[in-house]
């Protein structure tokens, strides 16, 4: 390895990787409130953003934090916040506003045990919260990394997806992943691929705040520019006017869904390991997938034909990919660090055509490869 290549690698904590990935993606505004196990993200942003010409502000709570992020985004900045489960619960109203008003932003959730304040131990207990906590049942994008390097990469991707589709994107980390340290390949700043929100190309007099392009995404003017940008928490027509007809509000809601669902090829990411000839498939995500991958390799060493399906994009759920895997195997084992959340989505995708078993644990400790391996052998 030459000296130049060595310089591209850094030892980072998972929470630090969020900050460096965000800055590489062009984030220049962060507002947050300290909450373990995400506080290092806030602390690191406080140091790093002034160094790159950005702005950091500590708010009075999580509600104000995301409100400030939305305001900065409306002003043209790439903006984000970070929290844990209790803070995410407080942010859901503004996440819903970001969905409806199509305001790009990123929310990092470094998950901890609940309910309520819970305890500062690891979990994957916010998977359904990320999708269903907001009113209306709207589509959202959520990503979940399984390593510190992937945390860095997926933070960049989260920012890009939020800008490309004008949506909030949630990055679902966890207490262990946020605090562990691993080698990260840092991309040279000039070579980072960055997406930007679509900008108006029509004269200001012809601009409508929610007149979407072929992809279903409206051009977004910056507040304070020569364009008159209308933002409302109510259902609206293309001009942003409240109280549209049945046809107009139906059109809006369908567009908000379809601008995500019609572009799954751009949004969905999965990893498949040894599934070509597998009879048993393990479905695992985030840090739990690491234990599952070790267990799969150990089972293979004993002649058991098992493979791993790891969703990296968890929302929208990769239903078609799971369905295709289910057609090739006889059993699916879902491994989750909760009492069973995405297992219901797996069962829905499998449609009763294959046995689905759950291996769950929610005591603040990581699921071990031995536990997964025992489940594999019991399923044989």
- pLDDT tens-digit readout, 184-226: 999 888 899 999 999 999 999 999 999 999 999 999 999 999 9
**Token reading at 65:** 């934090």
- Compute the distance between CA of residue 88 and CA of residue 62 in angstroms, rounded to an integer: 8
CB contact set of 276 (below 8 Å; sequence gap of 6+): 307
Q: Are 19 and 92 in contact (CB under 8 A)?
A: no
Phi-psi region of 89 (alpha: psi -120 to 50; beta: other; left: phi over 0): alpha
In this structure, CATH architecture of domain 3-191: 3-Layer(aba) Sandwich (3.40)
Among 292, 300, 298, 255, CA closest to 276: 300
**Strand 306-311 with 313-315, pairing:** unpaired
Neighbours of 366 (CB within 10 A): 18
Among 140, 124, 108, CA closest to 15: 108
**Token reading at 37:** 């196990």
Q: Model confidence over 135-151: pLDDT tens digits? A: 988 999 999 999 999 99
**Token reading at 257:** 């869904």
Q: Model confidence over 60-81: pLDDT tens digits? A: 999 999 999 999 999 999 999 9
What pLDDT shows up at residue 244? 85
Question: Where do runs of H (alpha helix) occur along 78-147?
Answer: 85-101, 127-132
- Compute the distance between CA of residue 1 and CA of residue 5 in angstroms, rounded to an integer: 6
What pLDDT shows up at residue 188? 87
> Distances in Å between the alpha carbon of 43 and those of 22, 31, 101, 155, 191?
14, 11, 30, 17, 26
- Compute the distance between CA of residue 155 and CA of residue 148 in angstroms, rounded to an integer: 11
What pLDDT shows up at residue 353? 86
> Please, which pLDDT band fits residue 1 given cuts at 50, 70 and 90?
very low
- Compute the distance between CA of residue 194 and CA of residue 160 in angstroms, rounded to an integer: 6
> Please, which pLDDT band fits residue 7 given cuts at 50, 70 and 90?
low
Per CATH, is 270-379 categorized as 3.40.50.920? Answer: yes
CA of residue 256 relative to chain centroid, distance: 18
Question: Where do runs of H (alpha helix) occur along 102-174?
Answer: 127-132, 148-165
Torsion of CA 315, 124, 178, 152, to 10 degrees: -20
CB contact set of 32 (below 8 Å; sequence gap of 6+): 38, 41, 42, 45, 58, 59, 65, 81, 82, 83
Stretch among 32-46, 228-242, 263-277 having the lowest mean pLDDT: 228-242
- Compute the distance between CA of residue 361 and CA of residue 343 in angstroms, rounded to an integer: 13
30 CB burial (10 A radius; 0-12, 13-18, 19+)? buried
Taken in order 17, 19, 20, 23, the sign of the CA dihedral is positive
CB contact set of 55 (below 8 Å; sequence gap of 6+): 28, 29, 30, 49, 72, 77
Domain borders along the chain are 3-191, 270-379
What pLDDT shows up at residue 152? 98
**The two domains 3-191 and 270-379 share their CATH topology (first three levels equal):** yes
> Please, which pLDDT band fits residue 5 given cuts at 50, 70 and 90?
very low
Rounded to an integer, the average pLDDT of 91-110 is: 97
Rounded to an integer, the average pLDDT of 159-188 is: 97
Q: Under DSSP, is residue 358 helix (H, G, I), strand (E, B) or coil? A: strand
Q: Model confidence over 16-57: pLDDT tens digits? A: 999 999 999 999 999 999 999 999 999 999 999 999 999 999
**Token reading at 275:** 């599934």
Taken in order 315, 92, 155, 146, the sign of the CA dihedral is negative
- Compute the distance between CA of residue 242 and CA of residue 327 in angstroms, rounded to an integer: 47
């Amino acid at each position: 390895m030459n000296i130049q290549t060595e310089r591209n690698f850094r030892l980072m904590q998972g929470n630090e990787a969020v900050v460096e990935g965000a800055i590489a993606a062009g984030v220049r505004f962060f507002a947050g409130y300290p909450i373990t196990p995400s506080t290092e993200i806030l602390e690191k942003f406080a140091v790093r953003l002034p160094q790159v010409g950005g702005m950091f502000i500590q708010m009075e709570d999580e509600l104000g934090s995301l409100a400030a992020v939305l305001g900065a985004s409306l002003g043209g900045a790439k903006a984000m916040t970070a929290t844990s489960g209790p803070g995410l619960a407080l942010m859901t109203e503004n996440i819903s506003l970001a969905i409806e008003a199509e305001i790009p932003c990123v929310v990092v959730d470094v998950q901890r045990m609940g309910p309520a304040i819970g305890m500062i131990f690891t979990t994957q207990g916010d998977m359904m919260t990320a999708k269903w906590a907001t009113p209306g049942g709207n589509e959202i994008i959520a990503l979940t990394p399984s390593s510190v390097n992937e945390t860095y990469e997926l933070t960049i991707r989260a920012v890009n997806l939020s800008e490309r589709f004008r949506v909030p994107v949630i990055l679902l980390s966890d207490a262990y992943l946020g605090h562990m340290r691993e080698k990260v390949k840092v991309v040279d700043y000039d070579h980072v691929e960055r997406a930007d929100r679509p900008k108006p190309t029509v004269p200001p007099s012809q601009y409508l705040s929610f007149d979407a392009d072929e992809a279903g995404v409206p051009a977004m003017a910056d507040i304070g520019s020569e364009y008159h940008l209308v933002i409302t928490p109510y259902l609206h027509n293309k001009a942003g006017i409240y109280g549209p007809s049945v046809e107009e509000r139906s059109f809006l809601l369908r567009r908000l869904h379809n601008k995500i669902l019609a572009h799954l090829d751009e949004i969905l990411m999965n990893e498949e390991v040894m599934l070509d000839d597998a009879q048993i498939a393990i479905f695992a995500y985030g840090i739990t997938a690491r234990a599952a991958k070790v267990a799969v390799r150990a089972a293979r060493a004993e002649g058991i034909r098992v493979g791993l399906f790891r969703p990296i994009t968890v929302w929208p759920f990769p239903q078609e990919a799971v369905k295709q895997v289910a057609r090739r195997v006889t059993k699916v084992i879902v491994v989750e660090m909760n009492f069973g959340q995405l297992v219901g989505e797996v069962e829905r995708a499998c449609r009763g055509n294959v046995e689905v078993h759950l291996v769950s644990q929610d005591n603040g400790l990581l699921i071990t490869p031995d536990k997964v391996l025992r489940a594999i052998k019991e399923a044989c």
